[in-house]
Structure 1
Amino acid sequence: MLRFTANLSLLFAELPLLERFQAAKQHGFEAVEIQFPYTLPAEQIQNLLDQQDLQLVLFNVDADILLQGGEGLAAVPEKRDQFKTAVEQALVYAERLKPRVINVLPGRCLDPQRLGEYQTTLLENLSYAASAFAELGITTVFEAVNSYDMPGFIVDSSQGMLDVLAKVDHPNLRMQYDIYHMSRMGEDCAGFLRQHLDKIGHIQFADCPGRGQPGSGGVDFDTLFDIIAASDYKGWVGAEYRPTGITAASLDWLKTCAVK
């Protein structure tokens, strides 16, 4: 069975964030995710969830200025303390909001000569986060991001995720698999999902190219959603795309997939 979340950082962006919870519920979602919830107090988010009878499935550990072109926190050797502070902040929110998973963005290395240092730091920080969130019964995930949209990203392939997962070797660490990012890298998403769903804690999607809703690009979502629906995967599937118009007009896929 497929269970979809609305990523409120991208969907319903035509509305103020406070109004997106109600919009998600009205359009058929039972759960939501937020990339970085820290602009709102955790208590306010919980009230909005309660009002709409929604679950918050996922949010990210703070990543500093990664989305503005920076390196992020999780792999930068000089930012180990800042990363731990970000984990502590996420723990405060997690205690109140009880998400199913928390995502750590590996980030970039902008100096190729230091890549080894950054990779080592990432492994250490993922282990730290996985242990910290395990105390609350929350799974830690990390994701690969395509290197076209984010040049220098530490992990930019499915194999890269598998390698990191094996090296950290923590029982509370799983992959977050993003269909858009791996499609952008030209990967066989269907083949990977068939083989490795047991190692995945969360899935996100957008069509490719363009990162719009299903049907706006060339991704075969019928096949991918069928694979997930027929598997033992018990996680959620996050709609993390940029609608090509208003969000309500982009949701035909949800009506079709509700029966899977």
Structure 2
Amino acid sequence: MPRFAANLTMMYTEHGFLERFAAAAQDGFKAVEYLFPYDFPAATLKALLAEHGLTQVLFNAPPGDWAAGERGIASLPGREDEFRRSVDTALEYTRELGNRKLHVMAGLLGAGQARERHREVYLQNLAYAAKTAQAEGVMIVIEPINTRDMPGFFLNRQDDAQAICAEVGAPNLKVQFDCYHCQIVEGDLAVKLKRDMPGIGHIQVAGVPERNEPDSGELHYPYLFDVIDQLGYDGWIGCEYRPRAGTSAGLGWVKPYLKNQA
């Protein structure tokens, strides 16, 4: 039976961020994820998790200047020291919040920039992140993101992400399989899940193409959830979508699963 985590960056936006923990718990979620925790003290977030009986599943390492349009720094030449500091900062939060998975964003490849140089830096930074996180019992995940939502993002395909993980060779470096992004770029999700499951560290879902609830659009998620179950995935599935209207009103698709998750 799949287990689902509410993504508090995209869901429950009708509430302030700190109020979203209570809202998710009230609707039956037992776990949460979000993009970034760094606007709040780790102790504040830890207290909310404990108060509402929630497990922290995942968040992202600091991505550079998000407000200025940066989307990660792991592949950016000249930012290696900043990247290492970002990993250290993220791991400080994992110690408090308890999540065993940390997403490291690759960053954008600008026009005219050498992809091979970015890839070289990316592999070196991922090796550092994985080694540093391994000492904390934390898995590093990398995510292919579609170029429609994030033009210029360095990593777009599942096979490329898997190849990068294999080249780095760290046991705690895996791929974040976002069904929404994968469908837009590649499709053929069930085959890719079967092909890559040993190298998949986290899964996320959303409807395609609007990125709303996964109960409409071109993907048939009940079938994919069965495939994921049959493949033995025992992690949480992040609900990284934008509700069509109120978050709680749109949870009919997940209610049967929430009733049975631990």
Q: What TM-score, normalized by structure 1, do the two folds share? A: 0.96
How many Å apart are 1:112 and its aligned residue? Answer: 3.7
Structure 1 contact 71–109 (Cα < 8 Å) conserved? no
Identify unmatched segments of 5+ residues in structure 1: none
The separation in 2 between residues aligned to 1:2 and 1:239, in whole angstroms, is: 12
Letter matched to residue 51 of structure 1: E
**Which residue does 1:147 correspond to in 2?**
147
Q: Deviations over 1:90-146 (max 9, x none)?
A: 011111112020011111111344211111111111111111111111111110000
Q: Indicate the residue corresponding to 1:20 in structure 2.
A: 20
Compute the RMSD of aligned alpha carbons.
Answer: 1.5
Q: State the shift of 1:177 in Å.
A: 0.4
Change (3 A) 1:72 1:80: same
Residue in 1 that maps onto 2:78:
78
Q: What does residue range 206-217 of structure 1 map to in structure 2 within 5 Å?
A: 206-217=206-217
Moved over 6 A (4+): none
1:235 — aligned with what?
A: 235
Counterpart contact for 1:75–1:106, Cα < 8 Å: yes
How many equivalent pairs are there? Answer: 260
Distance (Å, rounded) in 2 between the aligned partners of 1:70 and 1:150: 10
Distance in 2 (alpha carbons) for counterparts of 1:30 and 1:68: 34
TM-fit CA distance, 1:186: 3.5
For 2:99 and 2:67, locate their aligned partners in 1 and report how far apart those are by CA, in whole Å: 22
| Identity of matched residues, % | 39
CA drift at 1:21: 0.3
Match of 1:164 in 2: 164
Matching residue of 1:29: 29
Maintained 8 Å contact 1:71/1:110: no
Q: Deviations over 1:147-178 (max 9, x none)?
A: 11111111101111112112111111011100
Structure 1 residues 191-211: Cα deviation after superposition (integer angstroms, max 9, x where no partner):
111222111111011111011
Q: What is the identity, as a one-letter code, of the residue corresponding to 1:93?
A: Y
Q: CA offsets per residue over residues 73-103 of structure 1, 9 Å max, x none?
A: 1111111111111111101111111202001
Amino acid at match of 1:111: A
Q: 1:215 to 1:68 in 2, by over 3 A?
A: farther
CA 1:71–1:25: 2 relative to 1, 3 Å: closer
Report the CA distance between 1:7 and its aligned residue: 0.7
With normalisation by structure 2, the TM-score equals 0.95
Q: How do residues 1-260 of structure 1 correspond to structure 2 at under 5 angstroms? A: 1-66=1-66, 68-70=68-70, 72-258=72-258
